[in-house]
Amino acid sequence: MAQIRIENVRKEFGAFTAVQSSSFTVEDGEFFMLLGPSGCGKTTTLRMMAGLELPTSGKIYIDGEEVGMKPASKRDIAFVFQMFALYPHMNVGKNMSYPLISQGMPKADVKKRVLEVAQILGIDHILNKSVGGLSGGDRQRVALGRAIVREPKAFLMDEPLGALDAEFRERMAEELRALHDRMGATTVYVTHDQLEAMQMGDKIVVMNHGVVEQFGVPQDIYDWPATKFVANFIGSPPMNFLDFHGIIGSGFDAVDLAGCKISIPEMREGAEGDLTLGVRPEHIHFSDTSEYRGQVVATEYLGTDQIVTLETPNGEVKARIASSVAVAAGEIIGLEFDSRTLTVFSGPKGHALRSSANEKVLAHG
Amino acid sequence: MSFSVTAPSTRQKWIAGILVIGYALITLLPLIWIVATGFKSSPDAIAYPPKIVFDPTVEGYVNLFTTQTRLIDGNAEAVEDLPWYEKLVRERGNTIVGPSRFSERFFNSVIIGFGSTFFAIVLGTAAAYAFSRFKVPLKDDLLFFILSTRMMPPIAVAIPIFLMFRNLGLNDTHAGMILLYTAVNLSLSVWLINGFIDEIPIEYEEAALIDGYTRFQAFYKVVLPQAATGIASTAIFCLIFAWNEYAFAVLLTSGTAQTAPPFIPTIIGVGGQDWPAVAAGATLFLLPVMVFTILLRKHLLRGITFGAVRK
């Protein structure tokens, strides 16, 4: 097992830049998520780690060794494809033994090892079956089995649950995470599903347009997004953005929103012009005493919670509040924000301004 | 206009059956006639009205494989000791003086037909794989160029090819004919196999690369088995062309490398019009392609429809 380090890696396809100078480190034994919308460069990044694409520039280290230009077959990593890519002309057992045969392992050992792994995955009864007739879940398990048998330095997975139906996906996600905990293998996992990333990952990299937007543990990324993109991409419903025009200086601990003073964490840097206050739906509370008001547009009932959409002087917001609170459309309600949790974004790319609350997270993001 | 999705009625099945059998009879009749004529005696073969029922004889086949001459009287060997085919020939007052050139010409057809098919498939697969998987500069133009070699009938360039072959000393050689048929078939094989390889997801090869195999091993062990169907059907098309080709064979071969198609008509001229021998030659000539096609029949059907449905 190994640490994977990406340093200033860049990938161009002709005139199109798929990945722009990215750097991050996957620690040994980590379950690492590469998260982003389609076309953001996450799969290209993964393929460069695997050696299926060569970086235009930059360096990739696996276990301290620079492998950027090495062919895939020499990197000792395993790759799980979204469509599984099980060899259709071989049965389950042959598929799983294929990586071992390439290493010249004796036949008896191969058989033993394949059976061992098949038992872990619960597929030892289908070893002689053709892969064509398998269910999605079993195909997934065979693909995992083929990856595990060799005990590679790292597992790279490209949306491995993407081809499964929703019901099954959850179960496989749990199985996958349990398997990882059992083996402790470094795993890099590509997904566009933010829930999957938060649920399974030890650490997440959020990418957009080939740029690493933020990199850290799921909770830091959720609580303290480094950019508006991350704030919007993660969380459902996403973070609310209250746009306002004003000046913020270092040391400020409040902003002026439509004439109301809203307290925020103490700022460490200043900005002026078009700014945005970011607030998570669960950090909005109804309060009769608050001067900042919004009119209810719609409500969505979700069981324990409800999502209330309100029109405020600074745009639409969604609040997550308990279902027990009775709300009717058209009602005007006073809103209060958890001041400890707020983030101010500024600039054309919507970078988060550093404050006493998020400076630690942003320092290494 | 609406289409019925219910099962066909018995009457519809009967009508369909009669149509199919009728069509099969019409297309197969010449073949049946050729095979039957091969087993007729010379008078039966040209009898009018044509004989449907006749005494079968292998005379035609004996004539096909032997060279004969008129038996001069006074050659009084004991007839009982002669082999059966000599007896058959004696009945018409002839005697066998040696084998004919048919088996030689037939063997030429086998070497040239299968040889050119082999090269067209090997080179075609290699080129198709490269076109399908690598960034080839001017790929589309090259593919179009390859296709364009089929845009005129090959015989249109017969004279330049004849002159080239004469200057290069390739006239009437096996190598020359294999080269020519390979060249003509190559565009077909590149295009067909390229289509088949395009259909195979690249992930299979990538999986093999990750599993520790080289690119060649990945091609050999993963791509080739999956493209086998397409390659087999392409091979049939190539073989049928090379096997049946007549015009170039007449023009460029006369002896050593002559194939069966230009040879069979020459039988007519030997000792009158020996239609049974011609028919026997044609029957034997049809067999290899028939056997080859039947063996690969399953692949052929799958191959033709392969890729018709988008996944």
Q: What is the 3-state secondary structure (H, E, C) of chain A?
A: CCCEEEEEEEEEECCEEEEEEEEEEECCCCEEEEECCCCCCHHHHHHHHHCCCCCCEEEEEECCEECCCCCHHHCCEEEECCCCCCCCCCEHHHHHHHHHHCCCCCHHHHHHHHHHHHHHHCCHHHCCCEHHHCCHHHHHHHHHHHHHCCCCCEEEEECCCCCCCHHHHHHHHHHHHHHHHHHCCCEEEEECCHHHHHHHCCEEEEEECCEEEEEECHHHHHHCCCEHHHHHHCCCCCCEEEEEEEEECCCCCEEEECCEEEECCCECCCEEEEEEEEECHHHEEECCCCCCEEEEEEEEECCCEEEEEEEECCEEEEEEEECCCCCCCCCEEEEEECHHHCEEEECCCCEECCECCCHHHHHHC
Residue B153 pLDDT exceeds 80: yes
Tell me the C-alpha distance between A19 and B244, whole Å. 56
Residue B104 pLDDT exceeds 80: yes
pLDDT for position B289: 87
Residue B143 pLDDT exceeds 90: yes
Residues A188 and A253 in one domain: no
Residue A25 φ then ψ, to 5°:
-130, 135
Residues A171 and A238 in one domain: no
Residue B68 pLDDT exceeds 70: yes
Q: Tens digits of per-residue pLDDT, B226-256?
A: 888 889 889 989 999 999 999 999 999 988 8
Q: Is residue B75 domain-resident?
A: no
- Closest B-chain CA to A102: B212
Confidence of residue B110 (pLDDT cuts 50, 70, 90): very high
Residues A161 and A190 in one domain: yes
Q: Is residue B126 domain-resident?
A: yes
A105 contact B CB<8A: no
A98 contact B CB<8A: yes
pLDDT for position B115: 96
Residues A183 and A235 in one domain: no
Non-local CB neighbours of A21 within 8 Å, separated by 6+ positions = A8, A9, A10, A58
Residues A78 and A212 in one domain: yes
Report the CATH number that the domain containing residue A92 is assigned in CATH: 3.40.50.300
Q: Which residues of B touch A52 (CB under 8 A)?
A: 206, 209-210
C-alpha distances (whole Å) from B165 to each of B111, B156, B159, B257 are: 19, 15, 10, 13
Residues A74 and A141 in one domain: yes
Mean per-residue pLDDT, B71-85: 70
Question: What angle in degrees, to the nearest 10, is found between the helix axes of B139-148 and B174-199?
Answer: 130
A52 contact B CB<8A: yes
Total number of domains constituting chain A:
2
Q: Is residue B140 domain-resident?
A: yes
Lowest mean pLDDT among A40-54, A277-291, B162-176, B297-311: B297-311
pLDDT for position B255: 86
Tell me the C-alpha distance between B237 and B255, whole Å. 27
pLDDT for position B309: 40
Q: Is residue B180 domain-resident?
A: yes
Residues A17 and A165 in one domain: yes
A142 contact B CB<8A: no
Q: Does the distance separating the beta carbons of B201 and A98 come in below 8 Å?
A: no
Residues A140 and A98 in one domain: yes
Tell me the C-alpha distance between B218 and B241, whole Å. 32
Q: Does the distance separating the beta carbons of A50 and B210 come in below 8 Å?
A: yes
Mean per-residue pLDDT, B189-202: 92
Tell me the C-alpha distance between A157 and A50, whole Å. 10
Residue B2 pLDDT exceeds 60: no
Q: Is residue B183 domain-resident?
A: yes
- The distance of A12 to chain B (nearest Cα, Å) reads 15
pLDDT for position A162: 81
Confidence of residue B75 (pLDDT cuts 50, 70, 90): low
Residue B76 pLDDT exceeds 80: no
Residues A205 and A323 in one domain: no
- Closest A-chain CA to B211: A99
Q: Is residue B115 domain-resident?
A: yes
Residue finishing a domain among A178, A207, A223: A223
Residues A198 and A72 in one domain: yes
Residue B3 pLDDT exceeds 70: no
Total number of domains constituting chain B:
1
* Residue B150 structural domain: 103-305
pLDDT for position A25: 92
Question: What angle in degrees, to the nearest 10, is found between the helix axes of B102-133 and B224-244?
Answer: 140
A13 contact B CB<8A: no
* Residue A162 structural domain: 4-223
Residue B310 pLDDT exceeds 80: no
Contact residues, A window 220-279, toward B, CB-based 8 Å cutoff? none
Confidence of residue B73 (pLDDT cuts 50, 70, 90): low
Amino acid, single-letter form, for residue A254: A
Report the CATH number that the domain containing residue B283 is assigned in CATH: 1.10.3720.10
Tell me the C-alpha distance between B267 and A70, whole Å. 66
Q: Is residue B78 domain-resident?
A: no
Confidence of residue B311 (pLDDT cuts 50, 70, 90): very low
Confidence of residue B308 (pLDDT cuts 50, 70, 90): very low
**Residue ranges of chain A with pLDDT lower than 50?**
none
Residue finishing a domain among A183, A204, A223: A223
A87 contact B CB<8A: yes
Amino acid, single-letter form, for residue B46: I
Enter the tokens of residue B57. Answer: 């004889």
Q: Tens digits of per-residue pLDDT, A288-327?
A: 888 899 999 999 999 999 999 999 999 999 999 999 998 9
Residues A348 and A294 in one domain: yes
Residue finishing a domain among A223, A248, A280: A223
pLDDT for position B228: 87
pLDDT for position A231: 95
Lowest mean pLDDT among A354-363, B41-50, B66-75, B273-282: B66-75
pLDDT for position B303: 55
- Show contacts of B67-74: CB within 8 Å, 24+ apart: B67/B96, B67/B97, B67/B98, B67/B99, B67/B100, B68/B94, B68/B95, B68/B96, B68/B97, B68/B271, B69/B94, B69/B95, B69/B97, B70/B94, B70/B95, B71/B95
Q: Is residue B52 domain-resident?
A: no
Q: Which residues of A touch B208 (CB under 8 A)?
A: 87, 98
ipTM of this predicted complex? 0.80
Q: Does the distance separating the beta carbons of A88 and B211 come in below 8 Å?
A: no
Q: How far is CA A80 from the centre of its chain?
A: 17
Residues A47 and A81 in one domain: yes
- The distance of A77 to chain B (nearest Cα, Å) reads 7
